[in-house]
Amino acid sequence: MAINSRELEAKHTLYSATTGGGKTTAIQKSAVLRKANRIAIYDPYNAHHKLGRKSVIKTYSLKEFAITLHKLMHQKKPFVVSLCSVYGKKELELLAEIVWQLADGTKELHVVVEELAASVTPRAIDGRVGELWRGGRQFGLVMHALFQRPQDVPKVVTNLSRFKWIGKVDNSSEAEWWSKQIDVPIQDIKDLKGWHYYFKETGKPAIYGKLPGARG
Ligand X SMILES: Nc1ncnc2c1ncn2[C@@H]1O[C@H](COP(=O)(O)OP(=O)(O)O)[C@@H](O)[C@H]1O
- Subset of 9-48 contacting Mg ion (CB under 5 A): 23-24
Residue 44 found at the interface with ligand X (CB under 6 A): no
**How many angstroms from the chain centroid is the CA of residue 170?**
20
Nearest residue (CB) to Mg ion, 23 versus 38 = 23
Question: Taking a C-beta distance cutoff of 8 angstroms, is the pair 18, 147 a contact?
Answer: no
Nearest residue (CB) to Mg ion, 114 versus 131 = 114
Coil/strand/helix, residue 147: strand
Nearest residue (CB) to ligand X, 72 versus 192 = 192
∠ CA(168), CA(145), CA(108), 5° rounding? 135
Residue 23 found at the interface with ligand X (CB under 6 A): yes
Q: Residue 213: count other Cβ atoms within 10 Å of its Cβ.
A: 8
Q: Residue 176 class from Cβ within 10 Å (0-12 exposed, 13-18 middle, 19+ buried)?
A: middle
Give the contact letters, 195-214, x = binds to ligand X (CB under 6 A), - = no.
x------------------x
Q: Which residue is nearest to ligand X (CB)?
A: 194
> How many Å apart are CA 146 and CA 105, to the nearest integer?
24
Residue 13 found at the interface with ligand X (CB under 6 A): no
- Nearest residue to 33 via CA among 48, 22, 45: 48
Residue 194 found at the interface with ligand X (CB under 6 A): yes
> How many Å apart are CA 153 and CA 150, to the nearest integer?
6
User: Which residue of 4, 6, 19, 155 would you call a contact of ligand X, by CB under 6 A?
Assistant: 19
* Total number of residues that touch Mg ion (CB under 5 A): 2
Nearest residue (CB) to ligand X, 170 versus 201 = 170
> How many Å apart are CA 148 and CA 17, to the nearest integer?
5
- Please identify, among the stretches 16-24, 80-88, 177-185, 201-209, the one whose residues bind ligand X according to the rule CB under 6 A: 16-24
* Total number of residues that touch ligand X (CB under 6 A): 14
Residue 164 found at the interface with ligand X (CB under 6 A): no
